[in-house]
Amino acid sequence: MKKIFGLLFILSVIIFSCKKDTPAPAAPVITYSAWSSCTNGVQTRTYTVSGGTATAPADSLTRACDYSSISTGSWKVTADSVYVAQVNQTFDILNDTAFYQVCEIDDVYTFNANNTYNLADAGTVCSPDGSTSGTWAISANKFIWDGDTQNPFPIVFFSSSKMILNYSSTLTQGGVTYNYTLKTTYTKL
């Protein structure tokens, strides 16, 4: 009987030692999309999962905008409009000589890394020449011209080639108060 138990023991060791281990399943792979353009101060991205299920950490899906590319290259105003709430209408002011002289439409902004800017009266030159310079800054997703922190321009969209600034305010004229929003689009040249 001892021989039979011994033989069964040896056979069980051989059978179990020959059994192949099942490999552990591969860890899921998370692949992220490119960061989106900035909208209202935030960039987002999406993700896909292959080889299983997983959830990307929330802090890897949104981030504050990176405005560093503003100081590379030159920019030009390519659209400018004003929305007047009382009449529920948007007016194109870039092509309205009451707001822009013809010689101003082709002007070029250069935003320098040291937070200064140069506005070149390019193309058709105004008389007198409208070239100027000043300072710029970005704080809390708002563009600040020449240190005027009381009237910052919210950056509603930003990419390496386009920036859209809004400015909302009121204007009282003839006893009527108008609520308006300026929307200016700058395009990198």
pLDDT tens, 61-109?
999 998 988 988 899 999 999 999 999 999 999 999 989 999 999 999 9
Q: What are the start-end ranges of the E strands in the chain?
A: 29-32, 38-39, 42-44, 47-50, 62-64, 74-84, 89-92, 108-111, 116-120, 132-139, 142-145, 153-158, 162-173, 176-188
Mean pLDDT of 107-114: 96
Residues 126 and 88 grouped into a single domain: yes
Whether 154 is in a domain gets the answer: yes
* Percent of the residues in the chain that have a pLDDT greater than 90, as a whole number: 71
Q: Report the SS3 class of residue 72.
A: coil
Whether 22 is in a domain gets the answer: no
Q: How far, in Å, CA of 10 to CA of 85, rounded?
A: 90
Residue 137 and residue 113 in contact, taking contact as beta carbons nearer than 8 Å: no
Residues 59 and 75 grouped into a single domain: no
User: Which is more confidently placed, 59 or 32?
Assistant: 32
Q: Is 47's pLDDT higher than 70?
A: yes
> What is the span of the domain harbouring residue 114?
68-188
Whether 101 is in a domain gets the answer: yes
Sorted by sequence, the CB contacts under 8 Å of residue 31 that are 6+ apart come out as 47, 48, 49, 50
Residue 80 and residue 100 in contact, taking contact as beta carbons nearer than 8 Å: yes
pLDDT of residue 11: 47
Residues 52 and 92 grouped into a single domain: no
Residues 89 and 151 grouped into a single domain: yes
Phi, psi angle pair for 125, to nearest 5°: -90, 135
pLDDT of residue 59: 81
* Lowest mean per-residue pLDDT among 10-14, 31-35, 106-110, 160-164: 10-14
Give Cα 15 distance to the centre of its chain.
62
Whether 11 is in a domain gets the answer: no
Q: How many structural domains compose the chain?
A: 2
The count of residues in the chain is 189
